[in-house]
Amino acid sequence: MTITTIDTAPVAPVNTASTLEAWLPLVGRVLIAAIFIISGLSKIADPAGSMAYIASVGLPLPAVALAGAILVEVVGGALLISGYKVRAVATVIALFSLATAAFFHNNLADQNQFIHFFKNIAIAGGLLQIVAFGKTRA
What's the pLDDT tens digit per position in 66-104? 999 999 999 999 999 999 999 999 999 999 999 999 999
φ/ψ (deg, to 5) at 2: -105, 135
First-to-last C-alpha distance (Å) of the chain: 54
Torsion angle defined by CA atoms of residues 95, 87, 74 and 34, in that order, rounded to the nearest 10 degrees: -90
pLDDT of residue 2: 66
**pLDDT per position as a tens digit, 39-54:** 999 999 999 999 999 9
Distance CA 107, CA 101 (A): 10
pTM: 0.83
**pLDDT per position as a tens digit, 7-42:** 666 666 666 667 888 888 999 999 999 999 999 999
